[in-house]
Amino acid sequence: MAIDDQTILKKSAEMKYDYDLVVIGGGSGGLALAKESARCGARVSLLDFVLPTPKGATWGLGGTCVNVGCIPKKLMHQAALLNHYMEDAAAFGWDVTKGTHTWDTMVSGIQDYIHSLNFGYRSALMNVGVKYLNVIGEILDEHTIKTTNKQGIVKNITANTIVIATGERPRYPPIPGAKEFGITSDDLFSLDHNPGKTLCVGASYVSLECAGFLRSIGCDVTVMVRSIYLRGFDQQMADMVGAYMDRYGVKFVRPCVPTSVRCLEEYDAETKKLGLYEVEGKHEDGTLFKDTFNTVIFAVGRDPCTTSIGLQNVGVETDKNGRVIVDSEERTNISNIFAIGDVNNIGFQLTPVAIAAGKNLARRLYTADDCLTDYTNVPTTVFTPLEYGCIGLSEEAAIEKFGTKNIEVFHSHFHPLEWTIPHRQENTCYAKLIINKADDNRVVGFHVLGPNAGEVTQGYAVGMRLGARKEDFDRTIGIHPTCSEVFTTLHVTKSSGGSAAVTGC
């Protein structure tokens, strides 16, 4: 429960710590928490330090999303979409001569924008009075943090409350050559050359998004998949994402795992002659895979940054994956230590979730607000060439939670109007609502595969947060002609066996 401001101020004065709050981690969640806490009157310090990747890549304040995640990913996705628009332009009467894509120009523009964001975050912290320290933070006891700067100078600081917001970093598979010759998404967005023929290892959203935009700007791309696409997402939708990418020229090797990476020729930074790497793998049936690539990107998962921040010094509990175990208030088993964002064991590893958690925690700590973060019905989008947006439960999760007899699925393919003139393939885009019949036909899952799925999905998240039923969707007047209106006219159920194919405009 939140406590009043007078109690907070009195307690802080009595304890005489350097700060009311120290935040370890300068990503989206940590920044949101630090700024909101300072606005509420707390004395705050934020610690942030980026350890270089094995290839030496590093970046500024803002965490994964700003530097090596959402922002550069979406901008490269936009570069890919422009290629698709040019392909369609001739059918609409435009005389478009497609030239070659210049990787350096794209990366330079993206990095300039990111650097402006880094500067903006520093300024925002300064404006609200947050003390920013570019140091490594290690918890020594419940109120003491050891800080080490890049020169190796050590200084201890104290705080009434400590919040862990250290995020995650990409994982390398334990195979020969992975770290020596492979890269991850931490390296890709600042790469000084076009990746060329690329192998993306993994079927996570990171892998498929990277594969999608690289293929769309002209790279020869192969994705090595161990088992299923987009683990944790609705599998019908995931398979549709994979099928679309396959039709658009992304090659899939499935099921297969890599066993080694060997350098045949190193990349020459002076001439920008691409390197050449031989990747060996093993298919599920035991047959061997071997091919050569200019770039190997590993996107096989991410690990929380919890191994070197001193959790063992105070006995903060973590789960088997290293995530910090927290309760509904993001509090650890140590009463004054909290964890928010990707590093904890609840919610989704998404930027907006971390931001919401940070703001809510600040308000609980330093105001009378007792609002908890709602981790249900969180909207998200996979920015593959054809986007996939979703809210709530997958079909599999809904059946597991409520039982097959209580679930109904309304679904339909749809054909965007803008696809008609270029004659893009019909029955590619798809929408479905998952309904809990036992709860007044409450919508528990929303899924859409189509253009601008992220924009389509966001608005419906409000309705689902307010408990929308299928009847509410049906009574909503759609905007015609749009992709989004399909959700106001869904009438075919999976249980009926009726066709979900497009039937008209």
* CA–CA separation, 371 and 333 (whole Å): 20
Question: Domain check: are 183 and 151 in the same one?
Answer: no
Per-residue pLDDT at 14: 45
What is the identity of the amino acid at 288? L
Question: Domain check: are 152 and 14 in the same one?
Answer: yes
Per-residue pLDDT at 97: 84
Per-residue pLDDT at 99: 81
Task: Point out which residues pair with 144 in neighbouring strands.
Answer: 141, 158
Which residues lie closer than 8 Å to 77 by C-beta, 6 or more apart? 209, 212, 213, 383
Q: Is the peptide bond prior to 481 cis by the omega test (within 30 degrees of 0)?
A: yes
Residue 325 in contact with residue 333, Cβ under 8 Å?
yes
* CA–CA separation, 264 and 468 (whole Å): 57
Does 501 reside within a domain? no
The distance from CA 430 to its chain's CA centroid, rounded to whole angstroms, is 22
Per-residue pLDDT at 10: 55
Q: Which of 143, 283, 480, 491 is catalytic?
A: 480
How many residues in total does the chain contain? 505
Does 97 reside within a domain? no
Tell me whether residue 206 is annotated as binding: yes
Q: Is the peptide bond prior to 255 cis by the omega test (within 30 degrees of 0)?
A: yes
Which residues of the chain are modeled with pLDDT < 50?
Answer: 1, 14
Answer left, alpha or beta for residue 301, where phi above 0 means left and psi between -120 and 50 means alpha.
left
Question: Domain check: are 30 and 151 in the same one?
Answer: yes
Q: What CATH number has the domain bearing residue 126?
A: 3.50.50.60
Question: Domain check: are 273 and 324 in the same one?
Answer: no
Tell me whether residue 63 is annotated as binding: no
C-alpha distances in angstroms, 63 versus 32, 109, 495? 12, 19, 45
List pLDDT tens digits, range 62-97: 999 999 999 999 999 999 999 999 999 999 999 988
Does 260 reside within a domain? yes
How many separate domains does the chain show?
Answer: 3
Last residue in a domain, options 251, 283, 299? 299
List pLDDT tens digits, range 307-344: 999 999 999 999 999 999 999 999 999 999 999 999 99
Last residue in a domain, options 244, 277, 299? 299
Last residue in a domain, options 266, 299, 332? 299
- Give yes or no: 491 in active site: no
Residue 484 in contact with residue 416, Cβ under 8 Å?
no
Question: Domain check: are 480 and 410 in the same one?
Answer: yes
DSSP three-state, residue 46: strand
* CA–CA separation, 166 and 23 (whole Å): 9
Domain with 406, as residue range(s), is 387-488
Does 31 reside within a domain? yes
Question: Domain check: are 286 and 261 in the same one?
Answer: yes
Tell me whether residue 342 is annotated as binding: yes
Question: Domain check: are 196 and 342 in the same one?
Answer: no
Q: What CATH number has the domain bearing residue 457?
A: 3.30.390.30
Residue 38 in contact with residue 129, Cβ under 8 Å?
yes
pTM: predicted TM-score of the whole model, two decimal places: 0.94
Question: Domain check: are 343 and 435 in the same one?
Answer: no
Does 76 reside within a domain? no
Does 188 reside within a domain? yes
Tell me whether residue 204 is annotated as binding: yes
Tell me whether residue 207 is annotated as binding: yes
Question: Domain check: are 165 and 45 in the same one?
Answer: yes
Question: Domain check: are 351 and 397 in the same one?
Answer: no
Does 504 reside within a domain? no
